[in-house]
Amino acid sequence: MLWRILGNEQDVCDAYQSTFLQLAHYQARQKPEHVKAYIFRTASNIAISALRHRVTEKKRLSRVVDVHRGVDSPEKELDSKLLVETLRCCMAQLPEHLRNVIVLRDLAELSYAQIGQMLGITAATARVYRCKAIQLLAVWMGKEREERQWES
């Protein structure tokens, strides 16, 4: 069912993981009355949420691309270049294991399984490393933005 809904291995694995995490944390670790039905419904809800997230992310990215294409003034172009440079600097500060996963997943567009093979880790570990890296980058980029606002 998840393969039919989501269509790619990484999303299916994420949905499986989320489903069983929810099952593990079900009402103070008690067993649901109908476990199979609970798993099926939870998995389908997670898959639908993932699809919705994918659609909103595509819309957001298309707006970012449109804004980037519509850069008229040198000031906007400079801000865009500054943002990219700030992201590069933050990525360079990441611990090597996190930076490697980010580069391979987001820039080289490799699957988690391929990343795991290359780095000698499991696909699940690669997924966790990417999550940690993105969280760190978000915090650091937020701090950089606040500092630039204070300087202005």
Angstrom distance (rounded) from CA 12 to CA 63: 27
Angstrom distance (rounded) from CA 131 to CA 134: 5
Section 111-135 average pLDDT: 93
Which of 44, 70, 96 represents a domain boundary (last residue)? Answer: 70
pTM, two decimals, is 0.49
pLDDT in tens, 12-42: 888 999 999 888 888 877 888 898 999 999 9
Long-range contacts of 138-147 (CB under 8 A, 24+ apart): 140/90, 140/93, 141/86, 141/87, 141/90, 144/86, 144/90
Domain ranges, residue 38: 1-70
Domain match, 125 and 83 both: yes
Which of 32, 51, 70 represents a domain boundary (last residue)? Answer: 70
pLDDT in tens, 4-19: 888 888 888 889 999 9
Domain match, 152 and 77 both: yes
> Do residues 42 and 19 touch, judged by C-beta distance below 8 A?
yes
